[in-house]
Amino acid sequence: MEASVQIENRSQLMFLLTEAAEMEHGIMCCYLFALFSLKTDTSEGLTETQLASIRRWRRLIRQISVEEMLHLGSVCNILTAVGGSPELRRPNLPASPRAYGATFKLQLNRFSMETLEQFIAIERPVETGDGRARSRPLPSSSRRLSDIFSSERAYDTQGRLYRGIEDGIRYLAQKYGERGLFIGPPEAQTTAEHFPALTDLIPVTDLDSAMASLKIIVEQGEGAPRDTADSHYSKFVSIWEDFKRLLAEDPDFEPARPVISSPFAQFPSDMSPSAEINIVEDEATADISNFFDGCYELLVQMLTRLFVHGDEQHDQLVRLATITEGLMIEVLQPLGSALTQLPAGPSFPGLNAGPGFRLSRGSGISPHSEPAWAVFHERLKELGAYCRFLESVAEAPPVLTRVRAGIGKYADQLKVAD
């Protein structure tokens, strides 16, 4: 079965790889939002049996989210290898219906059966015979010319997109020659040496390594060439089946907190006025929401620097990777969970807020390491000071003290980096 995505030139390949990177990032945020919305204690109306299941779901979704980060990193490495630039930014969520295709309704929703079914649809396996994309012959002079500036999106799952990318890379390796396709400098690759948490992040320098990276993405996602228990698709299906069983036992079972969809403290500047989002009205909650977004955007900037690294030394890159991982675990994770327990405001009686994962416009970073790291350090100090201010507000979440300690620790680590 031929892949439905047709790639005829390098520009088309970089376009779809960039789109894949944006989607991996957006999908990861959707998974994390659902994860943060899950209840964590029997005091939230759960039995011990229900809580045990939710804890398993949390472990699985957390693991899937880490693997989505690996997939994002792998796509960035392929982009670098073929002469492109790593893409760590993305449109704010919910994504426009025209952004990626009908299947990819990327929006921030609390954990539910409907949300799970959307995740399953995204990761759904593709039937492709033996599961491998096939090389196409070089075009003859009788063939109709393809679109020189293509934005074709003939795919409805991640698997079909990656099958098309794989097919396109094989084709372009014939068209340009392997050396002519993989023109990026090998030293620009980011690997598990830099990012020990992503053990399967490999350098991409030729056709074999590109195919190996794509194989990891596809098999961890949909489970191709055959369905496996370790794939994202199978894991989400197992959660869905467990959820369905618990609902049969107790129709009132509710594993997630009452969280509004796509919550923002401010309306994102890149969105249409008709976008289906919810503005957090509670002032104290909105302040923490803005704080989360500030921490998240800094994390994205640091990750961008890590994948675009230029004049940093190896130990600096390892340190930067360690800091970004720590910010995710010690700052964003507790803040995201805390937001799902805070009131959204008068227009949402009985409902809570959640993390918006909002990115601002024009927040690029310097291509030079010294000013980039100086800005990162400065920003961490500012975020730490803002966190201290939030702690002084009445009924502030106790987690803020721990978050500020983490921010301070990583600010100190950045300062001593030469």
Q: What's the CATH code of the domain at 402? A: 1.20.1260
210 and 100 co-located in one domain: yes
263 and 248 co-located in one domain: no
**Are 331 and 266 in contact, with CB atoms under 8 Å apart?**
no
What pLDDT is attached to residue 224? 57
Distance CA 158, CA 19 (A): 11
Of 257, 283, 313, the domain-final residue: 257
Mean pLDDT of 96-116: 84
Which range has highest mean pLDDT (46-60, 265-279, 393-407)?
A: 46-60
17 and 99 co-located in one domain: yes
Percent of the chain residues past pLDDT 70, beyond the cut: 89
215 and 330 co-located in one domain: no
Where residue 217 falls (left for φ over 0; alpha for ψ -120 to 50; beta otherwise) is alpha
Helices (H), strands (E): how many in the chain? Answer: 12, 2
**Are 123 and 233 in contact, with CB atoms under 8 Å apart?**
yes
Which range has highest mean pLDDT (1-5, 19-23, 98-102, 220-224)?
A: 19-23
Pair of tokens at residue 215: 């194989």
pLDDT of residue 392 exceeding 80: yes
pLDDT of residue 20 exceeding 50: yes
Instruction: Give residue 296's domain range.
Output: 259-418
pLDDT of residue 132 exceeding 50: no
pLDDT of residue 49 exceeding 80: yes
The residue among 3 and 88 whose pLDDT is bigger is 88
Written as one letter, the residue type at 58 is: R
149 and 284 co-located in one domain: no
226 and 276 co-located in one domain: no
176 and 302 co-located in one domain: no
* pLDDT one-digit tens code per residue, 331-387: 999 999 999 999 999 999 999 999 999 998 766 777 888 889 999 999 999 999 999
169 and 102 co-located in one domain: yes
**Are 9 and 137 in contact, with CB atoms under 8 Å apart?**
no
247 and 323 co-located in one domain: no
Mean residue pLDDT of the chain comes to 88
Distance CA 371, CA 381 (A): 15
Percent of the chain residues past pLDDT 90, beyond the cut: 64
228 and 371 co-located in one domain: no
The enclosing H or E element of 278 equals strand 278-279
Distance CA 294, CA 322 (A): 19
Length of the chain counted residue by residue: 418
200 and 342 co-located in one domain: no
Pair of tokens at residue 259: 């969280």
Contacts with 209 (C-beta within 8 Å, 6 or more apart), sequence order: 81, 202, 203
Written as one letter, the residue type at 281 is: E
What pLDDT is attached to residue 3? 45
The enclosing H or E element of 279 equals strand 278-279
Which range has highest mean pLDDT (116-125, 223-232, 360-369)?
A: 116-125
Nearest-CA neighbor of 188 among 323, 301, 84, 72? Answer: 84
pLDDT band for position 173 (cuts 50, 70, 90): very high
pLDDT band for position 223 (cuts 50, 70, 90): low
pTM of the model: 0.91
Least confident interval from 134-148, 268-282, 386-400: 134-148
> At 352, is the secondary structure helix, strand, or coil?
strand
DSSP string, 239-306: HHHHHHHHHHH-TT---B--B-SSEESS--TTS-TT---EE---HHHHHHHHHHHHHHHHHHHHHHHH
Domain count, the chain: 2
The residue among 332 and 95 whose pLDDT is bigger is 332
Of 203, 224, 257, the domain-final residue: 257
Question: What CATH number has the domain bearing residue 176?
Answer: 1.20.1260.10
Q: How far is CA 358 from CA 297, 299, 326, in A?
A: 7, 12, 20
* Inter-helix orientation angle 399-415/314-327, to 10°: 170
Of 228, 257, 286, the domain-final residue: 257
pLDDT band for position 220 (cuts 50, 70, 90): confident
pLDDT of residue 296 exceeding 60: yes
229 and 351 co-located in one domain: no
